[in-house]
Amino acid sequence: MMLKEKAGSFSLVLERPFTPFPIQHLLLSNDLDILFNRGRVPIATWKKEVLAVQTSDANCGNSGFATFSSKFSTSLGWKLLNNQNGDVKSPMQRNILTPQISQVVCIFTEEDPGEGEWAHGSFPIDEYVKALERSRGELYYDHSRGMSYSKITEQIYVGSCLQTEADVEALSNNVGITAVLNFQSATEAENWGISSKLINESCQKYDILMINYPIREGDSYDTRKKLPFCVGLLLRLLKKNHRVFVTCTTGFDRAPASVIAYLHWMTDTSLHAAYNFITSLHSCKPDRPAIAWATWDLIAMVEHGRHDGPPTHAVTFVWNGQEGEDVNLVGDFTGNWKEPVKASHKGGPRYEVEMKLPQGKYYYKYITNGQWRHSTASPAERDDRGNVNNVIVIGDTASVRPSVQPQKKDANIVKVIERPLTENERFMLAKAARCVAFSVCPIRLTPK
């Protein structure tokens, strides 16, 4: 943002920064360096001839922020502005990692205010720098900028939701998309003002196969349970030589997660490598733990109830009793109930035991001051002899017909372990993933 030399109480040229810029790096720069960095400094000055980062009594510059809105903030305004600057991009270049608009937003002066409104204020630069550090890596979805997408392979594209018939036309004519795999729910589309009916009709018009399979936004458990069927659908579409556009509302989470899972499960690529590959091509932040959870769920399909390999999950067993108790944990995982593990006191009535276990079903109990007891805060079952034991089921079994049941209340905390798979686990994963894919009808694209 720089000042335009015109008369009046205020006169600004507003420019959109590429990304939040670490302005602390400019504190040692001179005014000439700053001028050459025009458009990349997300701070503002006014009533001065030169952009000043440092505030001082000598120049009386006001470093701070400016908020601005104008007719150019609409999508039509952006298009008009780009046309004026000769910076119109081909739809084939609409990668989310590249700037989609000209950096100049609008020239706004007191003499020619147009339809704009603006306000400003001051704040300490060090606080601004700390805020930038906290927001590093965060993604922000701007629906008004329209659909954006990235090319992953010749057959796979990932991006944000279809908003208009023009988006469908662009995908068909410029990219050659023949199928859309959409994870956006009807409620989400309605909330964003998108007509699902119009989008579906547009896809039919341009001979694009539209498949809607809603996954709840921000729901890690729902993503985990539905990923296997998503990957099965994607594989079926690719086998039929479709060029597929995988999408959700923002293009940040569910869509890239399904493509990462596809690469991990179907191409024998490690989760780490698949994640880095997708995030290097498409700006996104998919739910990585959900993919790891779903991976172990898939392997469980062909394990027959017992995992043969290193631990898959980290479990925190929690006992809430009384302060000063001597608490030990014993169960199937402690030498067949013969080797109690002492719990750590975490303050107040809370005691914890940290363990890493392979997925499966385990029975356990607590020994408090020499007495064998079960926790009422965790699930329990009665055995054939009438003894009540706590029970924990670590992991689950994947299915193309996922039943998302309410999870049982449990004081224990289970987290997934992401690690390189053993040779046997890779074989089991490949086998299970193809079982899921073959469970999808190639004609109706529904579970068999």
Count of other CB atoms within 10 angstroms of residue 254: 31
Rounded Cα gap, residues 123 and 64, in angstroms: 6
Catalytic residue among 203, 230, 248, 284: 248
DSSP H helices in 107-206: 125-134, 165-170, 186-191, 196-205
Rounded Cα gap, residues 291 and 351, in angstroms: 31
Q: Which one-letter DSSP state was computed for residue 444?
A: T
Q: Which candidate, 194, 226, 232, places its Cα nearest to that of 213?
A: 226
Q: How many angstroms separate the first and last alpha carbons of the chain?
A: 59
Q: Computed from CA positions of residues 439, 443, 445, 448, in that sequence, does the dihedral angle turn out positive or negative?
A: negative
Q: Which candidate, 140, 144, 150, places its Cα nearest to that of 255?
A: 150
> What tokens does 194 get?
């998108």
| Residue 248 annotated as catalytic | yes
Count of other CB atoms within 10 angstroms of residue 183: 25
Query: Parallel, antiparallel, or unpaired for β 179-182 and 244-247?
Result: parallel
Torsion of CA 251, 257, 263, 264, to 10 degrees: 160
Q: Which candidate, 65, 78, 30, 72, places its Cα nearest to that of 50?
A: 30
Rounded Cα gap, residues 215 and 229, in angstroms: 11
CB 181 within 8 A of CB 211: yes
* Catalytically active residues, by annotation: 248
